[in-house]
Amino acid sequence: MRLDTNIDQLPETRWEKLEFHGKGLEYFKIWIVNIFLSVITVGIYSAWAKVRSKRYFYGNTVLHGAVFEYHAKPLGILKGRVIAVIFLAIAIGLGILHPLAGPISSIVIAIVTPWVIWRSIIFNARMTSYRNVRFGFMGKGLTLYYILLVIPLLFASAGATLGWVIGFLGRSIDLFGLRGINQINAAIIGGILGVYLSFPYIHKNLTSYFLNHRLFGQGRFRARLHGSFYYWSYLKWFILLSVITAVCWSIVFLANTLVGNNLSFLRAGGTRDAALAALPPMVLVLALIPFLLGFSWLKAYITTLFRNYGYGRLQLQSAATFKSQMDHNRLFSIQFTNFLLLVITLGIAWPWTRIRLVRYRIETLSARIYGDVEGYLSQMQNKQSALGEELGEAFDINLDLGI
């Protein structure tokens, strides 16, 4: 690619940090009025609330002296939500009337979900602008079906076939000393392993899909992602998960021995059931704390990893590159103190916690603008947005890519 080669030779390159100007108290006022009006209008105002809230966050995000803007119209969102509610009511109603509706609606949901995600990505992109130029998304819906449905199936069948073959060889020629193996079981285990192994690949493909088809006006975003990074990250995640789980159990065990409570059964030869049943609920809650801390830290760690990588690879065609310098410990400490704030204030502090988190997310991003951003022309806008886009928004399915 042309721009890959000569970024560094360009004369006017500067890293510019994104800024976030939102304030806790200011957002609190908007938030509480939003909830109040949503409640007294039986939820109808929630569409307006959503738009005001999004406009507040977009309008306070500053890059290079200009803010982002959110353009969605509340009525459109309301329309989408009404249709979504009707759709869900029908699904639930059918489920009550007919027992077979359960499995059928699961299949319908599996088929509809990629479409909804796709429309939602398009909607959110088109409703965003920067310097009066709209973003866009030109990814195909079919691609998403391929990523979400076909890839796992391919991995599963490859795994199952491999399992079957190993089972077959093990039985017939006593390969790997697997004479006693059941072919069917081997195939099932292979299939399940295949699905697990497909996760990093699916994650990579989704992120790539999400970033690569994004438009700013007529300019296209590019991000070259490597599958190896995702496999490596998932391996790290798995190792850390095992370590954290082990450490947490040891802490609970140690604390338990010191306090001398019922869990010591586990070692005293009592049955597991007896130990669990005799365990007072309070102790269970206390025992959860190390796990909670450990797993939240891990989530912050892995989110940071993917976010920094994704933004680090992102470029806007011959105009800008990006980077994210998030630190997982800082993210974790923000999330943890936010959680404490929420507990202490019974949820009233929510707007402040939100502002803190979003500020950190945004202010760790920077962009290096080296090309002629000003020259970017808006693409031809489709004036009316299709209903499907708003429907996508109504279900509010967010791809949690850590981006």
Partner 1 sequence: MIEGFWFPAGSAKKIVAALSVSEGRFKVIVKHDEYMEGQFDELIVSSRVGNIPRKIQLPDQSVFETTDNEAVDRLLQLSSAIVKRRGWAHILETRWSWIGVSLLAVLLFVFAGFRWGLPWASVSVAESIPEPIVQQLSQGSLSLLDDIMFKPSEISESEQKKIAQRIQNRLAHLDGSNFPIHFRKMGLPNAIALPSGDIVLTDRLVNIASDEELLSVVLHEISHVKQKHGLQQLVRSSVLSFAIALVVGDSSGVEELLVGLPVFLMQSQYSRSHESEADEYALEQMMAMDVDPIHFARIMEKMEGATQQAGAQGNEDHNESDTSVTRQKKLTDYISTHPVSAERIRKAETLSDTFNRRRVLSN
**Dist CA 180 CA 91 (whole Å):** 46
- Residue 44 carries which DSSP code? T
Among 6, 41, 106, 398, binds partner 1 (CB under 8 A): 398
Element spanning 315, H or E: strand 314-316
Return the number of the residue (56 or 370) whose C-beta is nearest partner 1: 56
Nearer to partner 1, 174 or 400 (CB): 400
232's tokens: 């490596």
The rounded distance, in Å, linking the Cα atoms of 131 and 134 is 8
Ranges of H-type helices in 60-100: 74-97
Helical (H) or strand (E) element with 63: strand 61-63
Number of residues that bind partner 1 (CB under 8 A): 78
- Output 23 or 171, the one with its CB closest to partner 1: 23
First CA to last CA distance, the chain: 24
Among 222, 328, 354, 359, binds partner 1 (CB under 8 A): 354
Check residue 20 for interaction with partner 1 (CB under 8 A): no
Using CB under 8 A as the binding rule, whether residue 329 contacts partner 1 is answered as no
Of 110, 128, 360, 309, the closest CA to residue 203 belongs to 309
Phi, psi of 375 (to 5 degrees): -80, -5
Q: Is residue 274 within the footprint of partner 1 (CB under 8 A)? A: yes
Q: Which is nearer to partner 1, 221 or 350 (CB)?
A: 350
Name the 3-class secondary structure at 227: helix
Q: Considering only residues 154, 342, 399, 401, which one is a binding residue for partner 1 as defined by CB under 8 A?
A: 342
Report CA Rg, the chain.
25
Whole-angstrom distance, CA of residue 49 vs CA of residue 1: 43
Rounded to a whole number of angstroms, the minimum distance from the CB of residue 90 to partner 1 is 17
CB 79 within 8 A of CB 387: yes
Q: How far is the CB of 355 from partner 1 (least distance, A)?
A: 11
x/- mask, partner 1, residues 278-307, rule CB under 8 A, reads x-xxxx-x--x---x--xx--xx-------
Q: Which of residues 35-94 bind partner 1 (CB under 8 A)?
A: 35-37, 39-40, 48, 52, 55-56, 58-60, 65-67, 69
Q: Judged by CB under 8 A, does residue 344 bind partner 1?
A: no
The reply to whether 264 sits near partner 1 by the rule CB under 8 A is yes
**Measured between alpha carbons, how far is residue 163 from residues 106, 170, 179, 187 in Å?**
28, 10, 14, 4
CB of 203 to partner 1, least distance (A): 18
Token pair listed for 215: 């438009």
Residue placing its CB nearer to partner 1 in the complex, 247 or 343: 343
Pick one of 5, 9, 132, 172: the residue that binds partner 1 (CB under 8 A).
132
In residues, how long is the chain?
A: 403
- Smallest distance, partner 1 to C-beta of residue 371, A: 11
Among 326, 348, 325, CA closest to 338: 348
Span from 81-89, 130-138, 155-163, 384-392 in contact with partner 1 (CB under 8 A): 130-138
Q: How far is the CB of 377 from partner 1 (least distance, A)?
A: 5
Please give the residues from 176 up to 215 whose contact with partner 1 meets the rule CB under 8 A. none
Q: Which is nearer to partner 1, 167 or 371 (CB)?
A: 371
Site for partner 1, residues 142 to 181, rule: CB under 8 A: none
DSSP strand pairing (314-316 vs 320-324): antiparallel
